[in-house]
Amino acid sequence: MRGPAPARRRPDPARPEARPRRRSPTVTDEADRTRLPLDVDTTTRPIRPVHAGDGAPNVVVVLVDDMGFGASSAYGGPCEMPTARRLADEGLRYSRFHVTPLCSPTRQALMTGRNHHSVGMGVTSEMSTPLPGYHGFRPASAATIAQILSGNGYCTAAVGKWHQTPPVEVSPSGPFPRWPMGEGFDYFYGFMGAEMNHWYPQLYQGRYAVEPDRLPEDGYHLSADLVDHAISWVENQQAITPDRPFFTYLALGATHAPFHVAPEWRDKYAGRFDAGWDAQREQTLARQKELGIVPESTELAPWAEGVPHWDELDETERRVAARFMETYAGFAEHADVQVGRFVEALEEMGVLDDTLFFYLLGDNGASGEGGPRGTFREHLVGHGIQDDTADMAARLDTLGDPTTYAIYPVGWALAMNTPYPWTKQVTHLGGTRDGMIVRWGNGIAARGEIRHQWHHVIDVLPTILEAAGLPAPETYGGVPQQRIEGTSLHYSFDAPEAPDRHTTQYFEMIGNRGIYHEGWSAVTRHGVPWEMVDTPKRPFDEDVWELYDHSDDWSQARDLAAHQPDRLRELQEVFEREAEQHHVLPLDDRVTERENPDVAGRLDLHQGRSTLSFGPNVGRLSEEAAPNVKNRSHVITADLEVVTGTSGVVAAQGGRFGGWSLYTVDGVPHYAYNFVGRDLTVVRGADPLVPGRHDLVVRFSYDGGPPGSGADVVLEVDGRTVGSGRIPVTTAYYFSFDETFNIGVDRGTPVVDDYLPVRNRFEGLIHRVRFDLDDVADPGTVEERDQAVRVHQ
């Protein structure tokens, strides 16, 4: 576990990389930089690579996951974040910076400078549908920051969370144009999906699956590992090509669930949150006013309906809730300290002041998806099930360790979004306004100031281009480019009183909608963030719109819709125009249901084949690349050879928090089904397999009916039944976002504790493992599904 960063050392001015670049970059060659990528100039002697331009700054974008506006100490919150405070003191804090209310959409908007629906990422990649604003495939007409900078001579690296590649393309077969190294990055180390286990991550380096060479007991933690790789990449780049500027995108998995951190970081906050989330909101708002982040007149937004106040909890509920927040705060501080090591490394290399550094404290608002109680097992609430408070109370000392996969109660999410209403998924400010810090030692004169101009995540790309003195490309790879929809915030760097330039912005997520226009906002909440499965929704035309005047109401505390219906109607019309322009329509309010590709109508990677056969070396397949055994009967047949006492995993999908596994223990065959980390069914054979070749078979007979219905399981060896069992409830939508399907081993966490999380490889010989899949319930044609969505609009 990495601790605090070492003391800062001053750069050596004699080192060439420490010489300051000029503040205003200039391009002296005659290359047409509106047509990218540029190539080496073969007419010169010697042949020279592409030159970025004299004075072009390095660029760093650090993105923290699921952190609300009022979480970090830099924005008045309770989570100590010394690196954020340092960068704010040496740069600028933006008080009205906005994102989309979910992960993938914000990341695609950040990378492209276009609105999320404009590039097909209207929801997370796992929820994509065939519709234009929601298909999840970034078009070639929307080149990324990395493609533009790389095409102009920058070295580029992405480290950490990606979550922008269509799931159907996340497999060893590719294709790879929408992987990080296909989107302009020279180097990638990180993970591809929505979240990752910070103790047992399953990572990629470039296109290739890798796993850390250390374990939690050796001090491993993902946040520290990611920063180690970011530092290593920059050190190598500076050693080899210090004359070329670099772009590093460091996207942490923290502070998204699961909340994983060592107990010393959690216990540092012991007792700090015993007063509860209502009191925390008051304390945070007071600090925000002292810092000048919000005006003195700012009020706390109304409390979200359906969420208990602190004084409505009993003693056990309070104790559990307080420990959740202690764990989250330690997780956040630990992550920030790792970012601090990266900042220190840049300073030691003498390049920090030449670096335009963006520190985004959230890709959406704090997450309320833990529901009123929170959970030790996130996939429970993802499937519409509340965790048991008494059970959590009995395990409080484990919170944050590898046996947990936690997310806090929604009350803490509301407090972390202080002073704003609602949370992630919702288009109110609690879901869309986050902290953002900019530091550029040799490019921004101001130190420790606040900027109140209104901006959005699509504004980062044009800001980088302006700072680097580069034009937006008209074509990239021969493809004409869509208009960049963001507005550079460069104008605000040295002009604190400059009027806003980004004056209109729409928001939409899962049917929640909003519009900001010339100092006013109109918003409507369609769903409840922690009600993600099979929840009846009202028709969209029955949603209640609210109206806010931000010249007088900073925090959306006073709804004026009843007093100014004409203005509300005008803003609704602006939203409709923006929605039409950016492919927002038709609206779709399904959440977890869309994570099942059969329901969402996504491409089936296996092209509908009912028989799939895998050799012994197949592995690290994501949910959509694996055989889809959910909501259907199926047969698994393993052709294998054993010796006396053979143990290990034959095939497995998922892990400790949801999945299934076929394995042997001392030669005895077993099949385990783990329902969202709560219910474990294990079917065991009676006797060990005798040495030799065998067919080990699982017959899974699904009941039919609604998704997640029960099933009967029979375990056979060479046609003879050796065990059977009943699974009362099965996984309806997804086994895991972070774990994978593997033959011959269970990677990551174990599905069942009969074997270890590592060293569980099958000791015998696997010839093939075949899956015979029955049809699932017909979800209808693409046209029928699209029509259903339109009817629901």
In this structure, the answer to whether residues 590 and 605 fall within a common structural domain is no
Question: Mean pLDDT of all residues in the chain?
Answer: 93
Q: Which of 577, 594, 611 is the last residue of a domain?
A: 594
In a domain, 380, yes or no: no
Residue 124 lies in a domain: yes
Size (the chain), residues: 793
Taking the C-alpha atoms of residue 338 and residue 254, their distance in angstroms, rounded to an integer, is 11
- Boundary-marking domain end, from 575, 594, 613: 594
- Helix, strand and coil percent figures for the chain, each rounded to 5: 25, 20, 50
Place of tokens 């974040």: 81
Q: Distance (Å, rounded) from C-alpha 343 to C-alpha 88?
A: 13
* Same domain, yes or no: 469 and 574: no
Which stretch of DSSP H or E encloses residue 492? none
Question: Residue 41: what pLDDT?
Answer: 84
187-217: pLDDT as tens digits: 999 999 999 999 999 999 999 999 999 999 9
pLDDT at 786 over 60: no
Structural domains counted in the chain: 3
pLDDT, tens digit, 9 for 90 and up, residues 238-262:
999 999 999 999 999 999 999 999 9
Give the model's confidence band at 43: pLDDT under 50 very low, under 70 low, under 90 confident, else very high.
confident
788: pLDDT strictly greater than 80: no
Residue 386 region, left (φ>0) first, then alpha (ψ -120 to 50), else beta? Answer: beta
In a domain, 416, yes or no: no
Tell me the pLDDT tens digit for each residue of 542-551: 999 999 999 9
Q: Is the model more confident about 3 or about 266?
A: 266
The answer to whether position 375 is within a domain reads no
pLDDT, residue 26, reads 65
Report d(CA 1, CA 335) in Å as an integer: 11
For residue range 380-396, list pLDDT tens digits in order.
Answer: 998 889 999 999 999 99
What's the pLDDT score for residue 776?
64
DSSP label at residue 453: -
Q: Using one digit for the tens of pLDDT, what is the confidence trace for 169-192?
A: 999 999 999 999 999 999 999 999
Task: Let me know whether 549 and 569 are in one domain.
Answer: yes
**86: helix, strand or coil:** helix
Q: Are residues 619 and 536 in the same domain?
A: no
How much is the pLDDT for 24?
A: 62
Both 309 and 221 in one domain: the answer is yes
Q: Domain limits at 763?
A: 597-773
If asked whether residues 482 and 530 sit together in one domain, one would say no
Closest CA to 434 of 106, 26, 212, 55: 106
Do 585 and 608 sit in the same domain of this protein? no
d(C-alpha 248, C-alpha 144), whole Å: 13
732 and 587 in a common domain:
no
Quick one: what percent of the chain has pLDDT higher than 70?
Answer: 94
Residues 471 and 587 grouped into a single domain: no
- Same domain (yes/no): 649, 536: no
Examine the pLDDT at 343 and tell me if it is beyond 70: yes
Same domain, 649 and 545: no
Select from 594, 623, 639 the last residue of a domain: 594
Domain identity same for 574 and 455:
no
- Reported as a pLDDT band with limits 50, 70 and 90, residue 782 is very low
216-229 pLDDT per residue, tens = 999 999 999 999 99
Mean pLDDT confidence for 101-112: 98
Q: State residue 283's pLDDT score.
A: 98
Beta-bridged to residue 480, according to DSSP, are: 475
Q: What is the pLDDT of residues 349-389, one digit of tens each?
A: 999 999 999 999 999 999 999 999 999 999 999 888 999 99
Q: pLDDT tens digits, residue range 562-594? A: 999 999 999 999 999 999 999 999 999 998 888
CATH of the domain at 534: 3.30.1120.10
Please list the alpha-helical segments (H only) found in 154-262.
222-240
